[in-house]
Amino acid sequence: RPMTDESISRPWSKYSAGSSANELHKAKQERKAAEAAAAAAKPEDTKRIAGKVDKVKVDKGSKKMTADQALLLKAKNDPEMRAFVNTFAKRSKKQVWQNDDSELDKIPVVQQQAVQSRKTGGEGVVHTRTHIKF
């Protein structure tokens, strides 16, 4: 049968001519080629960080910091962020009691109260109740 026969099922592959997937594939390749040509023609450098395209202008050895790079620098200097990242480190890379040092810095709060006995026949008996908060 000829390829143009109506009784033949429609092609589905993106590599088969005449399928809608093939048309989308060709359009996608053309867009990529156009973007690559446009990027090669631009004098500015572009960097892709976390799904966003940020422009970085290069001026005689000094570079301008992007918003994402500033956020990364801030996170590197943040002690809470470092502690969070260290919790996901490999067991062979961290000490066994590494995070217990931060708990030693906290001073426990001790509260003592005098409480009457609730048992029958225990009138006049006073107990001390101690609460310790870590």
Q: What's the CA gap between 56 and 38, in Å, rounded?
A: 16
Measured CA to CA, the distance from residue 10 to residue 6 in angstroms comes to 9
Write the pLDDT tens digit of every residue in 17-73.
878 888 999 999 999 999 888 887 765 544 544 445 444 444 444 467 788 888 888
Q: 54 with 68: CB under 8 angstroms?
A: yes
What's the whole-model pTM score?
Answer: 0.28
Burial of residue 66 (CB within 10 Å: 0-12, 13-18, 19+) is middle
